[in-house]
């Protein structure tokens, strides 16, 4: 199994979710269906403990580094918000039109930290979890 690390340990999702937190209305999340979310197993110790408690043996959790590379990362955020995870898409869609525009502008500003000569390179971190 693989899962994303949470925003505080994953710069890409720090930008994506941070922009919603700064420019959007997080209270709309209360109207969304409950669920574990895409970061539910992102805590290394939690993933190992959950699988061990479920009876799995030889649990191995490894953290990996990748990157989100784009010539135009700010433009690439729109498809992420509208076609990414079900929960992220619903959270973005629940915002007003003005808030959605502000979220995209905020994300674009946050992405400037990751600008390179060829575009943008944002660290994207995940874990793999293997057990028997």
Q: Which two tokens stand for residue 37?
A: 């979310």
Residue 30: per-residue pLDDT: 81
Phi-psi region of 121 (alpha: psi -120 to 50; beta: other; left: phi over 0): beta
Q: What are phi and psi of 124, to 5 degrees?
A: -135, 110
Residue 53: per-residue pLDDT: 92
Residue 95: per-residue pLDDT: 96
Strand 60-70 relative to strand 115-116, pairing = unpaired
Residue 36: per-residue pLDDT: 63
10-residue stretch averages of pLDDT, the chain, 132 residues long: 88 95 91 69 72 91 93 91 88 95 96 95 92 90
């Amino acid at each position: 199994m693989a899962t994303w690390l949470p925003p505080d340990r994953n710069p890409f999702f720090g930008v994506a979710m941070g922009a919603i937190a700064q420019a959007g209305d997080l209270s709309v999340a209360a109207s969304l269906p409950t669920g574990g979310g895409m970061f539910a197993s992102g805590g290394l110790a939690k993933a190992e403990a959950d699988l061990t408690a479920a009876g799995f043996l030889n649990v191995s959790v490894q953290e990996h580094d990748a990157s989100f590379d784009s010539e135009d990362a700010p433009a690439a955020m729109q498809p992420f918000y509208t076609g990414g995870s079900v929960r992220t898409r619903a959270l973005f869609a629940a915002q007003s039109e003005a808030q959605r525009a502000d979220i995209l502008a905020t994300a674009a500003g946050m992405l400037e930290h990751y600008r390179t000569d060829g575009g943008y390179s944002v660290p994207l971190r995940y874990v793999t979890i293997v057990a028997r």
